[in-house]
Amino acid sequence: MARISAETRVRNEQAVRAAMDRLLKGDLPSGGGCDLKTLAAEAGVTRTAFYPKKNRDGTTRPGPYQHLAEEFERRLRTLQEAGEVVDPRIAQIERLKAKVAELKERLAQRDETVAELTAFKELAVSRLAAQHDEIVRLREQAATLSNVRRLPAARPGRAPYGLSS
């Protein structure tokens, strides 16, 4: 790969710094994020220029714009620590995480309510069954006793037991 001239390098560094400022202000291109890939694309340089290189003997040397990548990551981290959200996708992720937490809480409350209502229903059905059994027992007991008289059934169109309607 051919070496670039000092003039081209200075121009590229200026382009990277300008793109860095735009990205950190939140001016992100469509489909891009606040990351090195987008920075390289916006500045018109290759992404590999931001990473260390290997010499033929296996030692490493800094990439031509590695110092700019480190500056970008440092500035981004400083903004994030200050509470600013540069990337709207990150803000959306945080908003969705909060919504998921809220929905999980609501679901847990609903589950608790359903459990309480199920227990109440079981208790109510149990009491109704016990009352029914008691009514059946009392009817059977009343049928076996000779000193209990049945009241006459109400005639159609009249209130039962002589009450007027």
Q: What is the pLDDT of residue 107?
A: 97
Beta-sheet pairing, 53-54 with 60-61: antiparallel
Q: What is the pLDDT of residue 118?
A: 96
Rounded CA separation 106/56 (Å): 60
Answer with the residue of higher pLDDT: 163 or 73: 73
The DSSP string of 40-92 is HHHHTS-GGGGS-EE-TTS-EE--TTHHHHHHHHHHHHHHHHTT----HHHHH
Mean pLDDT of 41-50: 89
pLDDT tops 80 at residue 164: no
Phi and psi based region of residue 58 (left: phi greater than 0; alpha: psi -120 to 50; beta: remaining): left
HSE (CB half, 13 Å, CA atoms) of 84? Answer: 12
The answer to whether 60 touches 54, Cβ cutoff 8 Å, is yes
Average pLDDT, the chain: 86
What are 60-72's pLDDT values in tens digits? 888 888 899 999 9
What are 48-60's pLDDT values in tens digits? 888 888 888 988 8
pLDDT tops 70 at residue 38: yes
Rounded CA separation 67/43 (Å): 15
What's the predicted TM-score (pTM) here? 0.51
